[in-house]
Structures are given as C-alpha cells and as structure tokens.
Amino acid sequence: IFEGNLNSSHVRKRYFMEGFIARAIRLHPTEWTGSIAIRWEVLGCPVRFNEREALVSGDAYVPDSRMTASSVYDEYTGPERARIDSMREGEYRGAWSPVANEVGQWIQVQFDDFMTVQTVTTKGRTEEADEWVTLYELHSSLDGVTWMPYMEPFGTVKVFSGNVDTDTPVENLLTAPIKAKYFRVYPKSWHIYICLRIEFHGWHYSGKEVQLCTKIGIFGVDHYLSDGRLNASSQLDDFHGANRSRLHETTSGGMSGGWVPLTMDDQQWIQLDLKLSLEVTSLVSQGHSIRDEWVTKYTVSHRLTFEDNFQWITDDSGEIMEFEANENRDGKVENVLSGPGILARVIRIHPIEHHGAVSMRVELFGGCVLQEALISGEIFVPDERMTASSQYDDNHGPERARFDTVREGVLRGGWCPAVNIPGEWIQVEFDATMSVQAIKTRGRQDNQQWIESYIIHFSDDGVDWEDYQEPYGTTKVFEGNTDHNTTVIQSLHSPVRAKFVRLIIVTFSPNNIGMRFEILGCHFSEYKKTELISGVDHYLPDDHLTASSQLDDAHGPNRSRLHEPASSGLSGGWVPRHMDNNQWIQVDFGYDISVTGIIIQSQDRKNISVSEFYVSYSDDLVTWTNHQESDDNDTTVFHGNTEESPLKIIYFSVGFTARAVRVHPIIVNDSVAMRWEVIGSPGLFIV
C-alpha cells in the first residue's frame, strides 16, 4: 500500500522497485481526507527491446515439422517453404501456397517455448509468378487450441497491410507485443494467388521484460537491477556491501548509505551486471550518505559478455582515463564515459583516490541499443554509394553485396573483386553520420565463396580513414564466414560514428572472395527513433496537419500519417488538387522540435509516390526557411519513393529546430500522393 498526498496541492511521485508491462492501470484508493479526489500521471515508456531476433529462421530456429498450414497446393509448396529467405530449389517453390485460393487458409508456427513477438515480416513468392498476400490477420494461442486474433485498437481485429510485390519485405509492428507459443497468419486478400514467406521478430519471453527509454538510469530506477547483480572486490561488513551503492541510498537501521570496501587500496572495485548489453554513456557518483567519505578519482572497465576480457576506458592516446569524482559526500558528479556509448553488459568502477575512506553511491546512464539495417533496410544506401576496390565484371559489382541478394539471371549473388588477394575492399557511404554497432556477413549466394576474416575502416569524409581497434592500439580482425550462406554477426564493443564504412578483406575461402553484408546501427543522434506526428510517444491531432490543397475530403492531409490504410472510400495518403510544384503538406507541432529526419511513404494500394521533394521549416508559421544540407546556399532536393522502395527514411546531415515542417513535392510523373512522418525529439537541436 502506497502513501498518497499530504494536501490538495501536494504532488507525490512513486517509482516501483520492480516495474511491469501493462496495457491498462488502475488506482484503488484505500484512505482519504474529506472525499476521494485525485489527479494523476503514469511514468514509464513504450516498451523497446534491444535484442530482437528472427524467431522462425534465425538463431531461434523453428524446425520444418513445427511449421504447419491449413492445406498445401502440393508437396513442393509446403509451409516449410514459407521461410523469409526461401528460394526455388529445383521443384521446391519459393513460398507456401494452399490448395484453395480462399479466405480461411492459414499458416502456423509453433515455438519451443513462449516468445514475445514484436513484428511480422512478409514477402511473396520468389519466382517469376507475381503472387503475394496483400492483407492478413494474426492470431495467437498459448496451447494451440484456443486462439485469439490480434486487435488494435481494443475490440477491433487488426488487418495488416501485406505486400505489393513478390520480394520486397514488409514489416508490421505490433504496438502491443504478443506473448504466445503458437502463431497463425490468415491471408484476407491477395494478388493472383495466396503465396507467402514470413518471419516473426521478437525475443524469448522470460516472464519479466525490460523497458528502455531514450536515456535511462540503468540500475537505480528505470532498469532496476536486483542486489544479486551488484558485486564488489570486498566489503567492510554485511552492512556496507555493494547492494548499498545505489544513488541516493540512505543510512537506515544500521545499513550503510554507500558501499565501503574492506581495504583502502587501489585493487578495490564495484561491479554492475546490467542483465543485457546496453549502451552506457555516463556515470554519476556520490559519497557516503552521513560520513565524510567519498571517492575523488576512479577508472572504469567493461566487457560485453562474461567470456570476454575486461577492457579499460581509454583516451585517444590509449591511456587509461582517470575520472575526477566527488568533492563532498552528498553532491552528485556526472562523468561522460563515451559520447557514442560503450556497448557493455558488465561495468566495473575502480576507485584510485579517496577522501576519508572509499565510499560510493553510483548510477549509470545510457540508452537502448537500437539496431536497424543501414544499407538495405528502411535506411537505404543507393547502388552508386556502394563502391569497391575492384569487381570481377559488371555482374559481380558492389551493389550485389546487399545482404539478401540472390542470383538474378546473369547478375551474381554477391560481390566478387577482380583479383583475389588480401586488401580488396568494399565500401558504403551513408546520407548522414550513423552510429555503427555491428556487421552482418554472408558469402556469395550462388557459389562456394566467402570471406574468413576482415578489418573495418571508418571515415567522416571518404578521404581520411581510421581502423577499428579493440583494444585500443590493436587493429581488430573480425572473424567472417565458414560457408557461403550462414549469417555471422560481429558486434563492436565501442560503436563508431561515421559516414563512410569500408570492409577490407584479410583472408577468404579457397574458392576466392565472395560476400554479402549488412551494417547494423542507428542515426548518431538517436538511441530511440521518435516519430513526432503519429508515433506512440507523440500523437498530433488532425488539425495540426494542413496542406496547400487536397483533391477532396477523402484525400486530405489527415490521411497522410505513416502507414495510413485506404479504408471505406478514404485515401491511404494525401493527394493535392493541383499537380504543380507549388504544393506542400505541413505539420505544426505547436512548440520547438529538434528535427533529424523525414520518412516518406507511397499511397496505400495505388502505390503513387513522391519521387523528389524538398523541406522547409518555420518558427512562427510566417517565415519559412528551405533546408540545406551543404554550404552552397542551394535548397537540398531529396529522392523519395520508388516502386522497389515504397517507404524511405532520410536522416539529415545537419538537423534543425522548428515549430513547423513542410514537405514540398516536386512533380515528376504528373501525380503526387504521400504518407509521411517526422523524426526528432522535443527541444533545441544539439549537434
């Protein structure tokens, strides 16, 4: 039972020792003064998880026997052919197809254990036949007997938008992730014939999930660590253990307000096991709560897994960094450990100087590790920005190195250089600086060729390059593949911010160099992508969306929200009345927003898009400034959608602060329609 308020104006904030995940919250008053009256708010954040994985065909592999269906067209189109990367193999087709082309057919996946599913990704049939599912429902079950459809909003069965072609993956996010053991997909409409490939992304359900916000206290409040995850080299006694080291800990009932080791030498440390890998950016420290004892200087070490060795945080010269700490017992001192963040599961703090005695209360801050595909995902690198030291011929170019590339006629299933020697390289250039967190590699799809090891170079300008070092001073040689089709992921202990990334081959398979790859990470300014128009964190009413014109009431700016479906005569996208270069769509946030990017999406079903556009912004809705990515005073024109990429994310090289944002389509094909989203966060932009 929690204590409430002292009077009518008193505000009381209560943090739970153990948080929970829920859709609805109730407060039950048990005592009151006068009569029951309350004003309230709930603290928390939408659930974000940093270790999402493919649950059907990834490391958490579902065997063929646990993929079943209502029916199959024949033995070559069974449910096991529905894996997301399935391709035709002889008589075996590149998708599941039922015997009857009718509503009511389904495909089912049974997991070994309960899983939390966050997204569903679908593709159509991989061969020449133009067959795919355009709409579907998702059902789940705990026991395989009783089934529940996914509903969004509450009480309404959600019909998900499927595919518009055979091979472009479409991912649908579940705003309320499902915990179940069985999942079924029911096609509701399709193009020519029901054909489906599918993947679920999520994580193993452990019974107690972890929430992560943009910046979180890692073991005090938002991401609470149990006492068993706090350890130390020694403790003065049971009253001064590592469990007493939480920030703001008080002395109570003989228990110390701070950790104190048994001996006062430079071999002491306190350790935090974060439960999972997080990006740690800063550390806040205090001294003892009532005694004049505090640490004045410390060092920090970390490791990514329990199998790894500890690594010191060092400066640019490779020297171990010594952080200046406290000057009194109760003041808080925050030290930035790493701007990009240190990817770690275990953090150790090593006191090296103190006042009175070593005594510490600490908190770590960081962000969730958002990892998305930076080359061939929604953040798409065009072919001309994928370059290489050489290529065997036009059919083996660097653009063939995309992670899911397969052979297409004479075009090969991977990049191959002209010569097979160490030192050959492949390179990508991003639109803006990205935080690179991991590299994912495969060999060549259509031949027994792969790379066995490689190094990584980074650059801000494509001229001056730096090699990735781990530990500092030692160039890291990453292990690659041992066959041509297995995925190998290598994480960077220290994520790197760069605009250019180059992989340099060290060793390779006996049959020569062949590779496909993907870079995982996020835009450098964001731990969490914040969608400002219609995101779960920030939803604007329709009257904040306006436009220069609209075709009619069914095609207004209120229909422009990202993923807006066409429904009951209403358009899935904004369409202007006039098809000229004077049209625009606008969002008014009502206050200053720091803007870092734009998402542009084609019109639902009709696939009409914006192929080119520019952006303007305003602080007062009167004076508008065209956004410029360079210093030449020219308005930047961005490339929008294509049939192959109906949704495109663009991060700006330089962000801006504004109250309102406009997108101005440039008419190319005599028609314009769009859905959109603005990426950023409330407040002033900080480079």
- Residue 23 falls within a domain, yes or no? no
For the stretch 500-551, pLDDT in tens is: 999 999 999 999 999 999 998 876 555 444 556 665 445 678 889 999 999 9
Co-location of 276 and 155 in the same domain:
no
Co-location of 391 and 472 in the same domain:
yes
Co-location of 271 and 389 in the same domain:
no
For residue 500, the model assigns a pLDDT of: 95
Among the candidates 170, 204, 238, a domain finishes at: 204
Q: Whose CA is closest to 50, among 211, 272, 224?
A: 211
Co-location of 354 and 405 in the same domain:
no
Under a CB-based contact definition with an 8 Å cutoff, are residues 300 and 324 in contact? no
Q: Whose CA is closest to 46, among 204, 201, 212?
A: 212
- Residue 687 falls within a domain, yes or no? no
For the stretch 317-344, pLDDT in tens is: 788 999 999 999 988 888 878 755 677 8
What is the C-alpha separation between 26 and 28, in angstroms, rounded? 6
Under a CB-based contact definition with an 8 Å cutoff, are residues 373 and 517 in contact? no
- Residue 107 falls within a domain, yes or no? yes
- Residue 528 falls within a domain, yes or no? no
Co-location of 645 and 664 in the same domain:
yes
Is residue 456 predicted with pLDDT exceeding 50?
yes
What is the C-alpha separation between 146 and 423, in angstroms, rounded? 58
Co-location of 397 and 518 in the same domain:
yes
For residue 527, the model assigns a pLDDT of: 43
* CATH number where 67 lies: 2.60.120.260
Co-location of 510 and 647 in the same domain:
no
Percent of the chain with pLDDT strictly greater than 90? 53
Q: Whose CA is closest to 563, among 676, 680, 678?
A: 676
What is the C-alpha separation between 492 and 343, in angstroms, rounded? 8
- Residue 318 falls within a domain, yes or no? yes
pTM: 0.41
Ramachandran area for residue 463 (φ above 0: left; ψ -120 to 50: alpha; else beta): alpha
The 3-state DSSP class for residue 239 equals helix
Lowest mean pLDDT among 162-171, 227-236, 310-319: 310-319
For the stretch 565-586, pLDDT in tens is: 888 899 999 999 999 999 999 9
For residue 40, the model assigns a pLDDT of: 84
Q: Whose CA is closest to 573, among 539, 598, 610?
A: 610
Domain containing 651 equals 534-682
Which residues, 6+ apart, have CB-to-CB distance to 199 below 8 Å? 54, 55, 56, 57, 58, 83, 84, 120, 121, 122
Under a CB-based contact definition with an 8 Å cutoff, are residues 140 and 148 in contact? yes
Under a CB-based contact definition with an 8 Å cutoff, are residues 507 and 419 in contact? no
- Residue 274 falls within a domain, yes or no? yes
Among the candidates 501, 523, 545, a domain finishes at: 523
Lowest mean pLDDT among 40-44, 347-351, 598-602, 635-639: 40-44
- Residue 406 falls within a domain, yes or no? yes
Total domain count, the chain: 4
Under a CB-based contact definition with an 8 Å cutoff, are residues 229 and 275 in contact? yes
Co-location of 180 and 103 in the same domain:
yes
Co-location of 334 and 439 in the same domain:
no
Lowest mean pLDDT among 56-70, 451-465, 632-646: 632-646
Co-location of 413 and 509 in the same domain:
yes
- Residue 330 falls within a domain, yes or no? yes
What is the C-alpha separation between 437 and 458, in angstroms, rounded? 12
What mean pLDDT value characterizes the chain? 85
* Band of pLDDT at residue 174, cut at 50, 70 and 90: confident
Co-location of 404 and 500 in the same domain:
yes
Among the candidates 498, 523, 548, a domain finishes at: 523
Which residue is it, tokens 């050489």?
A: 390
Co-location of 485 and 590 in the same domain:
no
